[in-house]
Amino acid sequence: MTLLILGGTGTLGRQIVRKALEDGFQVRCIVRNKKTANFLREWGAELVYGDLTLPESLPLSFQGVTAVIDASTTRPEDDAKILDVDWYGKLMLIEMAKQVKIKRFIFFSIVNAAAYSVISLMHQKASIEKVLANSGVPYTIFQCAGFYQALINQYAIPILEGKTVWQTSERTPISYIDTQDAASFCLKSLSLSETQNKSFFLGGAQAWGSGEIISLCERLCGQKAQIKSISIPFLNLLRQLTGFFEWTYKISERLAFVQLLQDDQDFLKSTQENAKVFKIQPNDLLSLESYLREYFEMMLVTLENLDVDSQKKQKDLLL
Ligand SMILES: NC(=O)c1ccc[n+]([C@@H]2O[C@H](COP(=O)([O-])OP(=O)(O)OC[C@H]3O[C@@H](n4cnc5c(N)ncnc54)[C@H](OP(=O)(O)O)[C@@H]3O)[C@@H](O)[C@H]2O)c1
C-alpha cells in the first residue's frame, strides 16, 4: 500500500511519516523543498516535489497511490495565502484523488470549524470537509483542537525564559493530543472500514484550561510564570477589529482556539467513543503531564550542561 502524505515536514506530518514507515507502508511525500525535507528520505520515504499553491505540480505524485493523508496547512510565517493552500490546493488534491480512485483520503481539520466561518482558515477547513464528503472519494476527517507540541512555544519556553504567558480569564478547557498519538489514530483508520466516510474529534484523555497548563509548567520546571490575563470578549473584539484569524498566530495559537470551543464541548465523550472504534484506550494516550515532564527534564539538563560549559570556559580564560 503506497501512502501519499502532504505536510510530512510538519509537526504532525513527520510523526505520520515515521509511524507509517515503521508499520511497513510505502510512503511518498509531496514536499516544497527537498533539501529541508531530506530527513524524511533518510527515514525511508520517497520525496516528490509539489506545492499546493502550484496545482500543476501535484498530479504526477498520485501515480500508484492507494491513500492520501493530508496534514498540510498554510504556515503562519509564509507569504502564501490561506485561500491558495487550504482551499484551491485542497480542491486539486480531492480532484486528483477522485480521478485515480484513491481508497481513502484522510484530512485534518479543526474542531468547530463550521461554526466559525468568519475566520478564514476555519472557513476553508469547513468548506473542504463538505467538498470531501460530497466528492465520492472514501474519506476520514480528524478534527483537532491542538497538539501538545504547540504548548512548548506558548507556555514552556516563555516560562523558562521569564517572559510573559497569556492566560484566558474564563476557564475554557481544551483537549490537546500528542502528535504521535494523533498519527496512530490516523494510520489505524486505514484498516478500519467503520472509519470510512466519518469525522472524528481527535483529543487527549483530559481537557486543560490555560491556568492549569501554566501551573503544571511552573510545578515541573520550578519557576514562576509572568502571567497576563486576557478576556474572551476582548479577544472577540480584537478579532472583529482585525477581521483576520492570522493575527492570533502572532499572539498565541491557543488564544484563537479558545474562541472555537463551545462551553458544552464534551471532549471526554468523544475520546471514549474513539476508544471503542479505534481500540485505543484513553489510558494508552500520552498525558500532557508526562509530555511536559519529559520536555522540562531534557531542557533543565541541557541548561545545566550549558552552565557548566560556560563556567569551565571562564575558568580556562583565567588560567
Ligand atoms: N497545530 C495545531 O495545534 C493544530 C490544531 C488543529 C488542527 N491542526 C491541523 O493539523 C494539520 C497539521 O498541523 P501542523 O501543526 O502539524 O502543521 P505545521 O507544522 O504548520 O506544518 C504544515 C505543513 O504543511 C506544509 N505546507 C505548507 N504550505 C504548503 C504548500 N504550499 N504546499 C505543500 N505543502 C505545504 C508544510 O511544508 P513546509 O515544511 O515546506 O513548510 C508543512 O509540512 C493541519 O491540517 C492543521 O490545520 C493543527
DSSP letter string over 222-257? Answer: T---EEEEE-HHHHHHHHHHH--STHHHHH-HHHHH
In angstroms, the CA 263 to CA 309 distance is 49
The alpha carbon of 217 is separated from its chain's Cα centroid by a whole number of angstroms, namely 21
* Paired sense of beta strands 2-6 and 67-70, if any: parallel
In angstroms, the CA 118 to CA 121 distance is 9
Q: Among the atoms of ligand 1, which is closest to the Cα of residue 84?
A: 31
Residue 22 CA: distances (Å) to CA of 25, 44, 48, 125:
8, 10, 20, 29
Name the closest-CA residue to atom 11, ligand 1.
71
Count Cα neighbours of 128 within 13 Å in the Cβ-side half-sphere: 35
Q: Which of 12, 36, 96 to mutate to test the pocket of ligand 1 (most atoms within 8 A of CB)?
A: 12
Question: In the predicted model, what is the mean pLDDT of residues 151-176?
Answer: 84
Kindly provide the residue ranges of all beta strands, DSSP E only, lying in 111-212, ordered along the sequence: 139-144, 164-168, 198-202
Each residue's pLDDT tens digit, 130-150: 999 999 999 999 999 889 998
Q: How far is the CA of 2 from the centre of ligand 1 (A)?
A: 21
| Per-residue model confidence (pLDDT) at position 86 | 95
Name the closest-CA residue to atom 19, ligand 1.
10
Question: In the predicted model, what is the mean pLDDT of residues 200-225?
Answer: 92
Q: Among the atoms of ligand 1, which is closest to the Cα of residue 33?
A: 40
More confident residue, 207 or 141: 141
Question: With a 6 A CB cut-off, is 33 part of the ligand 1 pocket?
Answer: yes
More confident residue, 112 or 71: 71
Question: With a 6 A CB cut-off, is 203 part of the ligand 1 pocket?
Answer: no
Question: With a 6 A CB cut-off, is 73 part of the ligand 1 pocket?
Answer: yes
Question: In the predicted model, what is the mean pLDDT of residues 56-77?
Answer: 94
Residue 288 CA: distances (Å) to CA of 11, 77, 278, 285:
16, 27, 21, 9
| Per-residue model confidence (pLDDT) at position 154 | 85
20 phi and psi, to 5 degrees?
-60, -40
Q: How far is the CA of 11 from the centre of ligand 1 (A)?
A: 7
Tell me how crowded residue 280 is: count the other CB atoms within 10 A of its CB: 16
Look at residue 250 and tell me whether its pLDDT is greater than 50: no
Q: Among the atoms of ligand 1, which is closest to the Cα of residue 52?
A: 32
In angstroms, the CA 295 to CA 299 distance is 6
Question: With a 6 A CB cut-off, is 13 part of the ligand 1 pocket?
Answer: yes
Q: Which of 8-22, 107-121, 142-156, 243-257 has the lowest mean pLDDT?
A: 243-257
| Per-residue model confidence (pLDDT) at position 205 | 84
Q: Which of 9, 51, 72, 120 to mutate to test the pocket of ligand 1 (most atoms within 8 A of CB)?
A: 72
The alpha carbon of 134 is separated from its chain's Cα centroid by a whole number of angstroms, namely 25
In angstroms, the CA 14 to CA 11 distance is 6
In angstroms, the CA 5 to CA 237 distance is 38
Question: With a 6 A CB cut-off, is 80 part of the ligand 1 pocket?
Answer: yes
Look at residue 53 and tell me whether its pLDDT is greater than 60: yes
